[in-house]
Amino acid sequence: MRGIVSPKLTDFLALANSNIALAKQNNVQFTPTILRENLNKLGALMSDSPAVSYIADKMLTLPDSTIPVRIYSPAPDKPLPVLLHFHGGGHMCGSVALYDPICRHLANVAQCVVISVEYRLSPEHPYPAGIDDCEQVLIRYAELLGDVKHQHNVTIIGDSAGGAICTSLSMKSLTDKRINIDQQILIYPSVDYTLNSPSLDCNGTGFLLETTRIKWYFEQYFQTTDADIIKQASPLFGAMSAKLPKTLIFTAGCDPLRDEGIAYAKALIAAGVDVEHHSFDGMIHAYMLLHDLVKDECMATYQHIAEFMAKV
């Protein structure tokens, strides 16, 4: 069933759809540069960027690479829960800088230490490079917090492709004892790379993120058409166990990824995992990047996250 979008987004979508139609008319092809620039433009709709007591850019140094991170703490002298943040953007867009306002809200509202990871992006660094970066930060995050007090539990959070990274790491934690995840928070997550969910058809045009663009993202990410590899990488079809982390999941009613998020929540519940699911029926994919237009929905999302974090 096609979603019914909130009137708060009507004007925004009218302009976005006009620009999409014009690009198609002029045969403008997708490129990493164009899509990165377009996503970065949404930063103008996140003018609410609250102050946080402690913010620092650091590097996790590995034998053959370094991974940039940005750390936030509303009270660096107080031991707070740790929240690892993996941004969205189709595995090829997005950045710590773009998601800075979101991480500031998360730190303040949820009263936690946020570590935002600048993982490598495709097509320059295809699957599984970004997941590998996030895994290393997850395993070694305490090395980055020498001047910030923190608790010794960790929650991971991601939207869209960041949700895919979260669920991939949670799946891997079942067999890799180095990976310890207490909770995961998924915001309109991408969990099915096979592109078979019904909402890809009913919500696949007119709501900013279109199915054709999702397909192109995945082609750049995997750089293979091998159906078995793509399915094996999809968390929705991975191992399900009651040992997976407690999960908070948000879906949006007008999102092409809506149904796979719901299916993942149901699969976790069937496996015996503690799941909390909230649906924002009038919202589109990436609504958290549209804070100025849908502030109430964004703040409600942060509040649900804060309540969930308080239970860790």
* Residue 85 annotated to the active site: no
Question: Pick the catalytic residue: 133, 159, 255, 259?
Answer: 255
Question: Pick the catalytic residue: 160, 168, 197, 199?
Answer: 160
* Residue 285 annotated to the active site: yes
Question: Pick the catalytic residue: 85, 87, 105, 285?
Answer: 285
Three-class HEC string of the chain: CCCCCCHHHHHHHHHHHHHHHHHHHCCCCCCHHHHHHHHHHHHHHCCCCCCCCEEEEEEEECCCCEEEEEEEECCCCCCEEEEEEECCCCCCCCCCCCCHHHHHHHHHHHCCEEEEECCCCCCCCCCCHHHHHHHHHHHHHHHHCCCCCEEEEEEEEEECHHHHHHHHHHHHCCCCCCCCCCEEEEECCCCCCCCCCCHHHHCCCCCCCCHHHHHHHHHHHHCCCCHHHHHHCCHHHCCCCCCCCEEEEEEECCCCCHHHHHHHHHHHHHHCCCEEEEEECCCCCCHHHCCCCCHHHHHHHHHHHHHHHCCC
Q: Which residues are catalytic?
A: 160, 255, 285
